[in-house]
Amino acid sequence: MAAIRAKDTKPELALRRALYALGVRGWRCHQRSLPGKPDLAFTRWKLAIFVDGAFWHGHPDHFTFGQSGAYWDAKIARTQERDRLAGDALRADGWTVLRFWDFEIREDLAECVACVVAALESAGARRSRPADPAAPRRRVRAPTPL
């Protein structure tokens, strides 16, 4: 279990890269001052995003209670309770909470990104424009000799 990452997982990095490519900016990663330390937190627009591992957070298709032993049942139940409490605390403070399963990001990244963009736009955020790769690059002049 020592090799299991708590942050900067592949699905989380994929989501961040896709948002950056669209020109979405302004998030903070793993903000310790917020309940549950969201994977992405748009503090200005009060949007918290969690990317949950299917097994570790107890998705019904990837974890069945009673099948892996009492230790794992208790561990996953604690994780689910902690997730619920963190989400409730954030919502009580006026935050919008989005939770994505890791396999959702792997299977349909565009849909997950669209969901984040829609939540930001409903909160009043405007998207900054990414650099246009087709636009001509600005030339830097060489310094003139004295």
**58-109 pLDDT tens trace:** 888 777 777 878 898 899 899 999 999 999 999 999 999 999 999 999 999 9
Enter the pTM of the model: 0.81
List, as one string, the DSSP characters of 82-124.
HHHHHHHHHHHTT-EEEEEEHHHHHH-HHHHHHHHHHHHHHTT
Q: In the chain, where are the structural domains located? A: 10-120
The tokens of 5 are what?
């990452």
Superfamily of domain covering 10-120? VSR Endonuclease (3.40.960.10)
For 34-45, how does the pLDDT look when each residue is reduced to its tens digit (9 = 90+)?
999 999 999 999
